[in-house]
């Protein structure tokens, strides 16, 4: 099927589904300040998605011309990236949603009437929490689960990583469709975005469903055409290959896929097409923004031609071919061929007139760098090259990259600013020019030696000073100027393992001529290994030779944990079944976390069995080995493969005895016995259908066991019980405390529970047990859950619960001594004020219930009206006051609430109630006597007023 037919079929298919067919938006949307070029089909509908415009239609389909600068370095190198390309899209603005979007995509791709792609060649990805999309693919479309990969938010969310990183606003999960190529690789052809959430703040629970959900999909026209036409790359499809051939002819070279010339011809083809479209839209090469990008694309293509031997303008000759290839959908290109050609030719001539001089100077600079063993291109030189010879810095960087030199963007910007020129700021945003990006281009790959050795000589390729985003590449660095500053070092080769595949990065030192650098963490940036740490002493210089030394005791602890995860994986599969596949893991020193598929939580028996299998695999002392194999061979040998993992080919296969074969890049032990022992700490749920085990190995496992035994021993002896009855006894203690609390606060009516725990008269506890370790651990687990503290704190908590119990028992016995007071006693304490019987008394330890009972009795027993105010210390820091007056006094406008107020204030509290009874609390028992003295006076004052 040719490309024009494909474009047409797509648009008419979605028209048949009721989508409005809308033309392509312009390539340079000057109406949208947030982008320089249209990056995707949805761009023209931004306001539709946000509901900012009146909708004439609620579903649409387009073929959009796009230009992506972010993919610039891939062009010519990968088979499937362009700067300029066409994106086929279908969109819903609150109309159809996930169900239709998926069904229609599948129908269009596989139905005989449409593209008729063999369904077994297609696989999909979904966002890991999007069960709905996974369900539709699996149950409705019938795609088996092993062809549905669940990916993280950085891969399958729009905007990327939005749930955790933001920005706030409209966002949603994606589902991508991949075509599986003959060579075992795959290519993404279509991305479906389900815009269904509004993000509000940080996780958790920050994704709110949108009332009106949208669909935004993008299918690469050239990629799909290349798949349908069965050609090796996008550049070989019917609308692009004639341009490649024309370029080869103009340049006088033969086109071959794998040669350097082949790559250059593909880049020329891409760039001339992009420039033709842009210049057609009046975006001429210039110093800033979109124009600068066109200038850069054009000059890059000219440089490619120059390196193929051309010295005169040539690109412009390809414009008619571009117009002809694209004339179906864009006939207007034919009208501006001459104008486009003349703009292009002038720019080519300009650049070519200075290029020889520029290249000569660049060569000289490179040789000087070589002889003084420098590895970073000076930004001042670059600025001067741009001003004098018009060599764009990115072009210079590309040339430097071919020699493995880095590029100093910071000094380039400084120099440009000094000259009052447009600094690279525009460019900084347009292209990836951070230090790491620069190093990636120049060094490309740090050789990893850490499987065989833990020390190595290496050359320092880059030194980065400062936190990401405020960082810069420096040629040298002194410890005195860099104290406490984060420094990152890149070497040409390293034994340090950079964090990946769930395994944390190595620690250690890099040292050389007079300097010592402490590596606190090791990360990866693409194929680069980045050593993160601080410069302890001396001066480190780019280009110097150093010794990289991994901290082996740290590494060994990580190896134990990593090998243990493979063993655990095997044990899980054996115990639970083949579905219990790894979903994720984190491996640190003698510590591991392992997520796997399983619906229910594991039973005690299952956990026991898993531990048994694991520990028997460890005891076996099974050899651990690894080799590089092709993916196909790995599959044949039965290696565990997780769909959705991107495996390199060839791939590293790690084998343990006869029981485990996994594809893994991590560092492992020599034999399983070196794990020493594995101790499961917890088993819990992470999300629907996924469970998580956390475990320890090596010395940490042993320490943990010792801790468990110690805590169980101590706690059960405190409680005076055996290990077997530890959970029950601890439970009894908790229940007793609950009852005691009720009683001391005056709400309980039952008799005081018997004391739990070691009694003076109780027999000496054994504190030891005869059962296995697992008995002790289970007991401790149960107790830790029941009293809600981590296992290691159980002993301390039991101790403090026992102390609470003692204190409450003391309090209760105080209270009961307080309750020895009788109504008679209180009446005896009363004095008469006119016809009123006034009783103000302290009732030590009495709880509010008792106090109220007395007051009722007093009011009943006295023939004359009574006014009572009782106060009681309940605790070291708690006072209760209750005031009450007879109804007759209420009739005289007296008020118990008003009476108690100032009294309570003295004991630092407040309260209130009805005119006849009021209760107050205070926190200053020491002042109770003073407060009660005032109470009498307050009452007298109240009578007078």
List of residues contacting ligand ATP (CB under 6 A): 68, 71, 80-82, 85, 87, 188-191, 218-220, 222-223
CB 337 to ligand ATP: min, Å: 25
Lookup: tokens for 353? 């007139």
- Which CB, 39 or 305, lies closer to ligand ATP? 39
CB 66 to ligand ATP: min, Å: 8
- CB proximity list for 897: less than 8 A, separation 6 or greater: 883, 912, 913, 914, 915, 918
- Which CB, 37 or 626, lies closer to ligand ATP? 37
- Per-residue H/E/C for 320-378: HHHHHHCCCCCHHHHHHHHHHHHHHHHHHHHHHHHHHHHHHHHHHHHHHHHHCCCCEEC
- Per-residue H/E/C for 256-324: CCCCHHHHHHHHHHHHHHHHHHHHHCCCCCCCCHHHHHHHHHHHHHHHHHHHCCCCCCCHHHHHHHHHH
- Which CB, 189 or 576, lies closer to ligand ATP? 189
How far apart are the C-alpha atoms of 200 and 655, rounded to whole Å? 46
CB 61 to ligand ATP: min, Å: 15
CB 234 to ligand ATP: min, Å: 6
CB 577 to ligand ATP: min, Å: 35
CB 606 to ligand ATP: min, Å: 40
- Which CB, 218 or 435, lies closer to ligand ATP? 218
- Which CB, 190 or 314, lies closer to ligand ATP? 190
How far apart are the C-alpha atoms of 291 and 278, rounded to whole Å? 9
How far, in whole angstroms, is CA 722 from its chain's centroid? 46
Contact at 8 Å (CB) between 136 and 99? yes
How far apart are the C-alpha atoms of 802 and 720, rounded to whole Å? 12
- Which CB, 222 or 679, lies closer to ligand ATP? 222
CB 124 to ligand ATP: min, Å: 12
Say whether 700 sits in a helix, a strand or coil: helix
- Which CB, 37 or 386, lies closer to ligand ATP? 37
How far, in whole angstroms, is CA 843 from its chain's centroid? 61
Which residue of this chain has its Cβ atom nearest to ligand ATP in the complex?
A: 220
CA dihedral 568, 571, 577, 583 (to 10 degrees): 0
Contact at 8 Å (CB) between 584 and 626? no
CB 178 to ligand ATP: min, Å: 9
Lookup: tokens for 76? 């010519």
Contact at 8 Å (CB) between 545 and 458? yes
- Which CB, 192 or 532, lies closer to ligand ATP? 192
- Which CB, 82 or 267, lies closer to ligand ATP? 82
Dihedrals φ, ψ of 878, to 5°? -145, 130
Say whether 557 sits in a helix, a strand or coil: helix
Contact at 8 Å (CB) between 587 and 502? yes
- Which CB, 80 or 194, lies closer to ligand ATP? 80
- Which CB, 220 or 392, lies closer to ligand ATP? 220
Q: Which residues pair with 157 in a beta bridge?
A: 173
- Which CB, 105 or 851, lies closer to ligand ATP? 105
CB 218 to ligand ATP: min, Å: 3
- Which CB, 126 or 557, lies closer to ligand ATP? 126
Q: In angstroms, what CA-CA distances link 7 with 10, 115, 121, 558?
A: 5, 11, 21, 53
**Would you tell me how many other CB atoms lie within 10 Å of the CB of residue 525?**
17
CB 73 to ligand ATP: min, Å: 11
How far apart are the C-alpha atoms of 354 and 62, rounded to whole Å? 43
User: 204: buried, middle or exposed (CB in 10 Å: 19+, 13-18, 0-12)?
Assistant: exposed
Dihedrals φ, ψ of 509, to 5°? -135, 150
Say whether 510 sits in a helix, a strand or coil: strand
CB 174 to ligand ATP: min, Å: 7
- Which CB, 191 or 522, lies closer to ligand ATP? 191
Dihedrals φ, ψ of 680, to 5°? -80, 125
CB 292 to ligand ATP: min, Å: 19
CB 284 to ligand ATP: min, Å: 23
The size of the chain, in residues, is: 945
CB 270 to ligand ATP: min, Å: 9
- Which CB, 9 or 361, lies closer to ligand ATP? 9
CB 369 to ligand ATP: min, Å: 33
Long-range contacts: 130-133, Cβ < 8 Å, 24+? 130/156, 130/173, 130/175, 130/194, 131/688, 132/98, 133/98, 133/102, 133/173, 133/175, 133/194
- Which CB, 37 or 197, lies closer to ligand ATP? 37
CB 156 to ligand ATP: min, Å: 10
How far apart are the C-alpha atoms of 310 and 248, rounded to whole Å? 12
**Would you tell me how many other CB atoms lie within 10 Å of the CB of residue 857?**
15
- Which CB, 516 or 525, lies closer to ligand ATP? 525
CA dihedral 916, 919, 925, 928 (to 10 degrees): -10
- Which CB, 77 or 914, lies closer to ligand ATP? 77
CB 432 to ligand ATP: min, Å: 14
- CB proximity list for 58: less than 8 A, separation 6 or greater: 92, 93, 94, 95
CA dihedral 470, 476, 481, 485 (to 10 degrees): 40
CB 686 to ligand ATP: min, Å: 27
User: What is the chain's percent helix, strand, coil content, to nearest 5?
Assistant: 45, 25, 30
């Amino acid at each position: 099927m040719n490309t024009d037919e494909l474009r047409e079929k797509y648009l008419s298919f979605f028209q048949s589904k009721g989508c409005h067919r809308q033309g392509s938006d312009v390539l340079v949307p000057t109406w949208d300040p947030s982008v320089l070029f249209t990056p995707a089909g949805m761009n023209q509908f931004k306001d539709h998605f946000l509901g900012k415009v009146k909708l004439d239609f609620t579903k649409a389909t387009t073929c959009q011309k796009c230009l992506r600068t972010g993919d610039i370095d891939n062009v010519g190198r990968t088979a499937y990236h362009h700067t300029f390309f066409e994106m086929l899209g279908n969109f819903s603005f609150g109309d159809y949603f996930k169900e239709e979007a998926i069904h229609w995509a599948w129908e269009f791709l596989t139905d005989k009437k449409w593209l008729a792609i063999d369904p077994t060649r297609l696989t999909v990805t979904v966002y890991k929490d999007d069960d709905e999309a996974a369900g539709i693919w699996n149950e409705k479309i019938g795609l088996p689960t092993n062809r549905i990969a669940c990916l993280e938010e950085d891969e399958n969310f729009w905007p990327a990583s939005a749930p955790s990183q933001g920005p706030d606003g409209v966002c949603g999960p994606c589902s991508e469709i991949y075509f599986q190529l003959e060579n075992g690789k795959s290519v993404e052809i279509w991305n479906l975005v389900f815009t269904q959430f509004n993000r509000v703040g940080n996780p958790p629970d920050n994704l709110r469903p949108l009332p009106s959900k949208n669909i935004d999909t993008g299918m690469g026209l050239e990629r799909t055409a290349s798949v349908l036409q069965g050609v090796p790359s996008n550049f070989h499809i019917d609308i692009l290959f004639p341009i490649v051939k024309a370029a080869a002819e103009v340049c006088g070279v033969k086109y071959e896929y794998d040669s350097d010339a082949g790559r250059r011809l593909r880049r020329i083809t891409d760039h001339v097409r992009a420039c033709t479209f842009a210049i057609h839209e009046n975006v001429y090469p210039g110093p800033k923004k979109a124009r600068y990008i066109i200038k850069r694309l054009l000059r890059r293509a000219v440089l490619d031609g120059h390196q193929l031997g051309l010295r005169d303008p040539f690109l412009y000759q390809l414009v008619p071919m571009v117009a002809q290839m694209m004339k179906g959908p864009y006939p207007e290109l034919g009208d501006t061929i001459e104008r486009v050609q003349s703009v292009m030719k002038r720019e080519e001539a300009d650049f070519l007139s200075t290029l020889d001089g520029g290249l000569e100077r660049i060569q000289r600079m490179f040789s000087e760098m070589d002889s003084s063993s420098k590895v970073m291109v000076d930004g001042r030189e670059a600025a001067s090259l741009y001003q004098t010879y018009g060599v764009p810095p990115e072009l210079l960087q590309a040339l430097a990259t071919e020699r493995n030199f880095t590029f100093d963007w910071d000094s380039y910007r400084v120099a440009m600013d000094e000259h009052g020129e447009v600094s690279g700021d525009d460019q900084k945003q347009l292209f990836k020019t951070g230090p790491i990006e620069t190093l990636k281009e120049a060094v490309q790959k740090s050789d990893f030696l850490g499987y065989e050795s833990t020390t190595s000589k290496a050359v320092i390729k880059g030194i980065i000073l400062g936190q990401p985003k405020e960082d810069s590449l420096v040629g040298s660095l002194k410890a005195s100027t860099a104290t406490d500053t984060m420094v990152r070092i890149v070497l040409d080769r390293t034994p340090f393992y950079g964090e990946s595949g769930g395994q944390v990065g190595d620690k250690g030192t890099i040292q050389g001529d007079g300097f010592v650098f402490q590596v606190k963490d090791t990360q990866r940036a693409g194929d680069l290994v980045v050593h993160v740490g601080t410069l302890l002493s001396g001066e480190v210089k780019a280009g110097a030779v150093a010794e990289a030394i991994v901290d082996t005791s740290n590494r060994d602890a990580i190896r134990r944990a990593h090998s243990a995860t493979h063993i655990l994986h095997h044990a899980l599969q054996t115990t639970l079944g083949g579905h219990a596949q790894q979903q994720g893991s984190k491996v640190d020193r003698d510590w591991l976390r392992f997520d796997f598929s399983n619906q229910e939580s594991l039973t005690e028996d299952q956990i026991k069995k898993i531990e048994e299998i694991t520990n028997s695999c460890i005891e076996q002392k099974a050899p651990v080995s690894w080799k590089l194999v092709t993916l196909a061979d790995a599959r044949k040998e039965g290696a565990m493969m997780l769909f959705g993992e991107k495996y390199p080919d060839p791939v590293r296969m790690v084998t343990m005895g006869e029981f485990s074969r996994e594809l893994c890049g991590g560092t492992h032990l020599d034999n399983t016995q070196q794990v020493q022992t594995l101790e499961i700490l917890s088993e819990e749920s992470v999300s629907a259908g996924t469970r998580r085990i956390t475990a320890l190995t090596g010395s940490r496992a042993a320490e943990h066991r010792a801790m468990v035994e110690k805590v169980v021993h101590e706690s059960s002896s405190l409680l005076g019980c055996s290990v077997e009855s530890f959970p029950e006894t601890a439970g009894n203690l908790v229940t007793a405390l609950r009852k005691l609390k009720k009683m001391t606060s005056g709400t309980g009516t039952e008799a005081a529970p018997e004391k739990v725990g070691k009694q003076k008269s109780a027999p000496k506890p054994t504190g030891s047990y005869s059962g296995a370790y697992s008995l002790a651990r289970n007991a401790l687990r149960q107790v830790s859950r029941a009293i809600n503290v981590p296992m290691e704190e159980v002993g301390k908590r039991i101790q403090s619960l026992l102390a609470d119990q003692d204190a409450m028992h003391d309090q209760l016995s105080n209270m009961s001594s307080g309750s020895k007071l009788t109504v008679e006693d209180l009446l005896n304490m009363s004095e008469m004020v006119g016809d009123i019987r006034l009783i103000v008394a302290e009732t030590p330890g009495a709880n509010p219930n008792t106090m109220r009972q007395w007051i009722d009795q007093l009011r009943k027993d006295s023939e004359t009206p009574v006014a009572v105010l009782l106060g009681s210390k309940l605790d070291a820091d708690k006072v209760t006051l209750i005031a009450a007056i007879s109804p007759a006094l209420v009739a005289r406008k007296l008020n118990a609430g008003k009476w108690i107020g100032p009294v309570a204030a003295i004991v630092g509290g407040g309260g209130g109630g009805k005119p006849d009874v009021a209760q107050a609390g205070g926190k200053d028992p020491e002042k109770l006597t003073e407060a009660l003295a005032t109470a009498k006076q307050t009452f007298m004052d109240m009578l007078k007023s």
